[in-house]
Structure 1
Amino acid sequence: MSTRPPAVPEPARDSPSLSAAGGWPFLITALVGRLPAATVQLGLLLYVSGAGLGLGLAGITVAAAGLGSAVGAPVIGRLVDRFGPLPVVLAATVVQLLGMGLLLAVVLHDAPRSLILVCAAVVGAANPQVGAIARARWSALARRRDTPGLVGKALGYETACDEISFILGPVIAGILVGVLGPNPALLVLMTWVVAGQGCFIAYLVSRRGMRVDTQTPTPTDGTAPRIRLKAVLPPMLACLCVGTVFGSTQTALTAINAARGTDAYTGIIYGFMGLGSAVASVLVSRFPERVPLAWRVAGGALLVVLVSVLLLPVPGSVGLALLFTVIGLGVGSILASAYTRGERVAPSHRIASVMTMLTTCLVLGVSFGSALGGVLSVVPRHGFLLTLGAGVAALLVSVAIHATRPPGRRRDV
């Protein structure tokens, strides 16, 4: 309407392009830098099982890595907010490599299996959280340039990058272990960590004066605003719901294809969800400001609920691929909107902390969905009941997001 204040920009029209705002080096290195994290998780699963230690221990190993990541991510975020990304990412990468090296030594020397879990937890805890740091950087750029519309586009792009990494990471891990065998594959995976995260470290070195938020330093007089749990909790719950969808659909799909004897299709079909999520995260970021974030979450949740119902009869492989694409559109909408809300309610000097809190909830959701989904998937299609429940929960979260709108913002944020 013509009465809208001119200071409220339409992101797609007035915001600078991502390449102009962040620069191609940042875009490329932030994408490459998060690929190792997506590769390591499945890599640990395949390594432990391929080493002849059993799929059960392999699953527990991945759970230990996930728990380590859930514990370590908030610490990483707080350290980044305080010291900047360069020393934290560098130190985390070194610790992660040490954990992987110790894991290799433990397996080769037939040490107690409990040490495998300890090493996996260290590897997970030392995840440098490149995606969360990149999101915080976009927030800092938008605040410095006074272009709030940039954040929506950037966070949508970042979610798409996450989905690309979730697709490529397992493929890389599977190829490494399948072609090289477990021990050489772990060594190559360590090299991959150095190369991928090293690219991002090299970018940070070239911008060594950069803090995650260059506009608002952390006050030292005790007046710094704290993270308001009431405001941050809804996007955290939204990420938890999305993670549950990821975990439950993965286990249900694995069980279905195992029963059909089409195990090779599991990764391919699951990749369609990542494709749909990547597309949705970019499209949702282009929505005008007048479309409230709560509506975007609700729309995505409705898609998850409807598709979950359609998945219960367990269609054929083509039908599964199509439905996984659509459910990906739903979770992409929820996830992009959750990160946008998290950025908007976070204090300017705690952006990285909030982003890592959201990432932690996503990881916990995947672990919860995989664990409970695995129990339900004794009857393969029952795993989708958990997916349905996560969709319903996301609908309730959309109500909470609407009810906790930050005061003084432009319409609904």
Structure 2
Amino acid sequence: MSTPERAPSYAAVLRTPYAARTFLSSLTGRLSYGTVFLSLMLALTASTGSYAVAGGVIALFGLAGSLLAPVRGGLIDRYGARRALVPMAVVYGGTLTALAAATWRPGTAPVWLLAALGGLAGLCAPPLGPTMRSVWSEIVPEPALRQRAYSLDTVCEELLFVTGPLIAGLLAALVRPAAGVAVSAGLVLAGTLAFTAAPPLRSTARKRPVRRPRGPGGVPVQPVAAAAGLGLMLGALTLLLVVYADGRGRIEAVAWLEAALAVGSALGGLLYGTRSWRRPARVRLPLLTTALAGVLAAAGLAPGLWALGAALAVAGVLVSPALTTAYLLADESATDENRIRIGTWVNTAFNFGSSLGSAGAGQLAGEVPVAACFALAAVPLLLSAAFAVRRRKFRSSGTLPYELTGAHQVR
């Protein structure tokens, strides 16, 4: 990467009119996604006594939420955030409330009902993250300030997924597991209502046309491929850390290994946002993903837990910048009429990749040495970087468009 220049401060982002209020309300709603997965797992396991049932319901919830996110994003692009997000949040929150009631006491609800409620909740999960990033692109149009806003957004979102399970565990211990599901419902309802009541969302709703999107409408291949590779790598890493620590008789070390990655990611995201980079995002992204893949492949060779923790902290420094750059690149390829749908493709790719990574690591663990598993988990990131470089060469020669055409869209 080229020599950076100093960017505007984070305070300048939050001083933008209505930015702090809008951002805080979106984080409140997004905290629901940090608490809900562990809360559901604990509540469903306590209610049914079956890990298989709990895992199946959560799989339905996660797949419906991830795979249909671009469809929900398209609805927001078409009808506006206030008209689309509020009904989604009401149905999502209501369904989670029903799940909390159904799992409050053991054995009181049939499995088919739990599965139906889990699938419906995922189907209607409001895409608050992509919508907030769309708002950032409108209220902070200056590129350097928008990069700072996206970095702040990515870091805060990651912190929500660190603190959310802690809240869920505390509620399970002090009240009961289903209480976390109920709190998740309350968070998304309160956060979405406050978010959509913010002035930027009201003005966006008035300006957004109520018709089918026009323009290129294609899927931004480079950031989606990078996000999928990043999700696959991190999804596999969670299980690989368990295998690595358990192999050394220190399974409890997984918690602080994950913390090292999270702290590094937060610091890396904040530092990345403090600079204005001369090279464009499409050049920075493959550099970041290649460096991250190299560090994580080497991490599998760490001789001990302390060395692995240090390697994970270094890798974490690159995680938030890579994801932030993917969001920025997707935003650059979007129009006002498809911005939220394009943003949800990055989220969908990351989440789907994470699921594949967890499943793939589970199949490999025990069959392949853990160091080789680390290296294999890094391969998708390297492939996404190679694809981006090759695509950029074709693009510069005028033989291949940067976007997939509309014929390849999920409609």
Preserved contact between residue 239 and residue 361 of structure 2 (Cα < 8 Å): yes
Quote how far apart the aligned CAs of 1:67 are: 0.5
Farther-moved stretch of structure 1 (11-20 vs 39-48):
11-20
The 1-side partners of 2:127 and 2:392 are apart by 28
Quote how far apart the aligned CAs of 1:354 are: 1.0
Are residues 1:157 and 2:152 paired? yes
The C-alpha deviation readout for 1:65-120, integer Å capped at 9, x for no partner, is 22011233112211221222234332222222333244345554455434433322
Q: 1:99 aligns with which of 95, 111, 119?
A: 95
Quote how far apart the aligned CAs of 1:346 are: 0.4
Q: Match for residue 6 of structure 1?
A: none
Count of aligned positions: 389
Q: Match for residue 406 of structure 2?
A: none
Quote how far apart the aligned CAs of 1:291 are: 2.0
The C-alpha deviation readout for 1:23-72, integer Å capped at 9, x for no partner, is 32123222222111122122222333344633344333332222011233
Distance change (3 Å), C-alpha of 1:135 and 1:390: same
Task: Output the aligned Cα RMSD.
Answer: 3.1
The 1-side partners of 2:28 and 2:10 are apart by 25
Preserved contact between residue 261 and residue 313 of structure 2 (Cα < 8 Å): yes
Quote how far apart the aligned CAs of 1:356 are: 1.2
**TM-score, normalization: structure 2?**
0.83
Q: Match for residue 5 of structure 1?
A: none
Farther-moved stretch of structure 1 (360-369 vs 282-291):
282-291
Distance change (3 Å), C-alpha of 1:223 and 1:385: closer
Query: Secondary structure of the residue that 1:264 maps to in structure 2?
Result: helix
Preserved contact between residue 218 and residue 224 of structure 1 (Cα < 8 Å): no
Q: Match for residue 140 of structure 1?
A: 138
Distance change (3 Å), C-alpha of 1:281 and 1:400: farther
Q: Match for residue 163 of structure 2?
A: 168
* Unaligned residue ranges in structure 2 (runs of 5+): 403-411
Q: 1:68 aligns with which of 61, 64, 67?
A: 64
Q: Match for residue 86 of structure 1?
A: 82
Q: Match for residue 389 of structure 1?
A: 379
The C-alpha deviation readout for 1:211-264, integer Å capped at 9, x for no partner, is 5477x63385x78313123xx111111111111122000111123334445443
The 2-side partners of 1:268 and 1:29 are apart by 30
* Unaligned residue ranges in structure 1 (runs of 5+): 1-9
Q: Match for residue 120 of structure 2?
A: 122
Q: 2:25 aligns with which of 9, 24, 29?
A: 29
Q: Match for residue 199 of structure 1?
A: 191
Quote how far apart the aligned CAs of 1:208 are: 8.0
Preserved contact between residue 11 and residue 152 of structure 1 (Cα < 8 Å): no
The 2-side partners of 1:159 and 1:190 are apart by 26
Q: Match for residue 209 of structure 2?
A: 218
**TM-score, normalization: structure 1?**
0.83
Q: Match for residue 286 of structure 2?
A: 298
Query: Secondary structure of the residue that 2:314 maps to in structure 1?
Result: helix
Distance change (3 Å), C-alpha of 1:119 and 1:235: same
Residue correspondence of structure 1 range 331-342 to structure 2 within 5 A: 331-342=319-330
Preserved contact between residue 70 and residue 344 of structure 2 (Cα < 8 Å): yes
Question: What percentage of aligned pairs have identical amino acids?
Answer: 23
The 1-side partners of 2:394 and 2:330 are apart by 12
The 2-side partners of 1:41 and 1:406 are apart by 44
Distance change (3 Å), C-alpha of 1:213 and 1:362: farther
Q: Match for residue 245 of structure 2?
A: 257
Are residues 1:244 and 2:232 paired? yes
Preserved contact between residue 213 and residue 349 of structure 1 (Cα < 8 Å): no
Residue type of the partner of 1:245? M
Residue type of the partner of 1:370? S
Quote how far apart the aligned CAs of 1:197 are: 4.5
Farther-moved stretch of structure 1 (361-370 vs 48-57):
48-57
Distance change (3 Å), C-alpha of 1:97 and 1:209: closer
Quote how far apart the aligned CAs of 1:353 are: 1.0
The 2-side partners of 1:53 and 1:188 are apart by 18
Are residues 1:357 and 2:345 paired? yes
Preserved contact between residue 251 and residue 383 of structure 1 (Cα < 8 Å): no
